[in-house]
Chains A and B, each alone.
Chain A
Amino acid sequence: MTLDRTRDALTQLFYRGGSIVLFVLLWQLACSAGLAPETFVASPVVIVETLWSYILDGSLYRHSVVSLSRAFYGFILAVAVAVPLGFMLGGWFKSFERIMGPLLTFLGQFNPFALFSVFLLLFGIGEVSKVAMIFWVAIWPVLFNAALGVRTVDPLHVKLARSMGMGRIRLLWKIVIPSSASFLFSGLRLAAATAFFMLIPAEMMGASRGLGWLIINAQVNYQIPKLYTGTLVIVVFGLLIDLLFKLLEKKVVVWKEAKVL
């Protein structure tokens, strides 16, 4: 019985991480055997060494804090604008949705890189243009998911609540927000991922600190291990942000399981 369970756990582990471990091993072997040219490919061991030295001298912490705070400001601004707008779009005011829906869809198609030139023009090359770019990309997932969430609220619940004399504010708070919460959360998760995603090119285009700058600086100075280390750090942060929002959703949206039962 316990043997079976350990075997199951091992199989699970094998399927979960086996391929990644294998990939890293092959990579290391290829580097050690000289199959991969050192000028282009840094071996995992070198990457970990570089990473460790960055952690020790504190530069990793410095760059991460700068990058994360930029992403955070853009994200928070986007959420503050998009959630109310999304609720209005989702059905609070029917005509508002009909008029604004197509326009917002069109605006959502605007390529963030194309707009970066515009943002530079309007806000200069400082922090504001970076935050504006992150704001721009983070706003759409929240907006559209909030609208979708409101639209999927069971009309029966709304009618029931209204017939029991619930006011508009309480209706929003007690019915609309809880029933659309899982959509809202997937919007938030997507927006956070997008914000961090766009942060990197924004920092590549003009910054003196941050993870994107780290990479572009490594490229300009032809420091290959640094390049790979920066990429690794960005990947890890992306995964962590995703995980954080998944956990947060589980903590906040506790009533979701009850529905399935």
Chain B
Amino acid sequence: MAAEFGQLSPAGAGAPGATGVMGAFEPPKSLEEKEAQSFSRRVMSWYGIIAFLALWQIGPWLGLFDARFIPPFSEVLKDGWILIRTGEFFIHVATSAQRALLGLFGAIAVGVPCGVCLAGFFPRVTRFLNPLLSLLGSINPFALFPLFILLFGVGEVAKFAIIFWSALFPVLNFTIYGVVNVEPILVKAARSMGADRGQIFWKVILPGSIPSIFTGFKMGATVAFLFLIAAEMLSATAGMGYMIHNASVNNYIPRIYLGVLGIALMGMGMSVLINRLEGLLMSYKEEAAAS
């Protein structure tokens, strides 16, 4: 188990930080544990969050911290309500979501076909290119920020380029990793049963590498959100990063916290979405287990 975990990430797959920063807490569940997950337990899982919010709310009142710097939760909600009523909040969310998705889809559209073709049809070339790809993936995209701005200016193109670049390497490297590490027995079995190359590719290699490809999607999405906010803080006129930056420049404290919460929720929504999609595509796994 431990060894598997170590192998999970191909060397230098994109930003190493991003997984850790926003890596979801997913305890491995055994069968009994799943069965035992009753209603009371699900309620219990909210206790921590509720207690946290309650502490946040009454902290200034208790004198634990200064309300000027950490305004109570209700103030943050109030500000959120104002922004929702004026519709400004949706503009920021939509702008950010659009940028993140555009960059991510760009990275997927380039990374997955490239990775599958490289690893599926040119294994030697892939082996040759692998060190270079992981080196490029391990370049800190922040270090490249100034370069991107020099090359693409400060407009939408630069933001797209930053998000695209940072999401591309996790997607590409995990795709290659998945295709290369398809169970050789499955490929041999298919071949011995007379499957041709196309059949092996579509029926064995592609489904076999989907879990890894989806890991790449998840890492890419995390990284895309991370850099989206950074890019929007540098220069933008709308978006969640801009909202926080603007609030911070104008010293409007509740809105900073609103932005922090909003981005966290957006990131969580994104990972839920990808997990759902993976569940849909991976339905064959359960079928196999049932039969």
Contact = CB atoms under 8 A, between A and B. Distances in A.
A144 B69 contact: no
Contacts of B144: 231
B128 A109 contact: no
Contacts of B259: 114
B256 interface: yes
A121 B241 CA distance: 16
A14 to B, nearest CB: 8
A216 B226 CA distance: 19
B186 interface: no
Nearest to A235: B139
B143 interface: yes
B245 interface: yes
A101 B49 contact: no
Contacts of A191: 20
A151 B27 contact: yes
B253 A113 contact: no
Contacts of A104: 25, 48
A101 B46 CA distance: 9
B16 A20 contact: no
Given A100-B48, A101-B45, A193-B17, A114 B25 contact: no
Given A17-B131, A110-B264, A212-B142, A198 B17 contact: yes
A235 B23 contact: no
B138 interface: yes
B132 A20 contact: yes
Given A114-B263, A118-B256, A186-B5, A230 B143 contact: yes
Interface stretch (A54-62, A135-143, A169-177): A135-143
A100 B47 CA distance: 8
Interface in B45-99: 45-49, 51-52, 69-70
A194 B21 contact: yes
Given A111-B225, A118-B256, A99 B263 contact: no
A15 B17 contact: no
B151 A40 contact: yes
A72 interface: no
Interface residues of B, number: 68
B5 A182 contact: yes
Nearest to A141: B20
A256 interface: yes
A136 B1 CA distance: 28
A98 interface: yes
Contacts of B1: 152
Nearest to B24: A105
Interface string B240-270: 1100110110000100110110011101100
Mostly, the A contact residues are: helix
Interface in B7-39: 15-17, 19-25, 27-28
B282 interface: no
Kindly name the residue among A15, A19, A120 whose own CB sees the greatest number of chain B CB atoms within 10 A: A19
A234 to B, nearest CB: 5
Contacts of A190: 16, 19-20
B147 A109 contact: no
Contacts of B238: none
A1 interface: no
Kindly name the residue among A122, A186, A193 whose own CB sees the greatest number of chain B CB atoms within 10 A: A193
Contacts of B139: 231, 234-235
A99 B21 contact: no
Nearest to A23: B132
B237 interface: no
A244 interface: no
A219 B150 contact: yes
Contacts of B264: 106, 109-111
A248 to B, nearest CB: 14
B146 A218 contact: yes
A121 B263 contact: no
A147 interface: yes
A118 B146 contact: no
Nearest to A190: B20
Contacts of A218: 146
A53 interface: no
Given A18-B128, A22-B132, A242-B16, 17 more contacts: A99-B47, A101-B25, A104-B48, A105-B25, A106-B264, A110-B263, A111-B263, A114-B259, A117-B247, A121-B248, A141-B20, A182-B3, A186-B5, A193-B20, A227-B146, A231-B140, A260-B3
28 contacts: A19-B132, A20-B131, A22-B132, A102-B46, A106-B49, A111-B260, A113-B241, A114-B240, A114-B241, A114-B259, A118-B256, A121-B256, A122-B69, A141-B19, A152-B1, A187-B20, A190-B20, A194-B16, A194-B21, A198-B21, A219-B149, A230-B143, A231-B140, A231-B143, A234-B143, A235-B138, A256-B3, A260-B3
Interface of A: 14-20, 22-23, 40, 95, 97-106, 108-115, 117-118, 120-122, 137-138, 140-141, 144, 147-149, 151-152, 182-183, 186-187, 190-191, 193-194, 197-198, 200-201, 204, 212, 215-216, 218-219, 224, 227, 230-231, 234-235, 238-239, 242, 256, 260
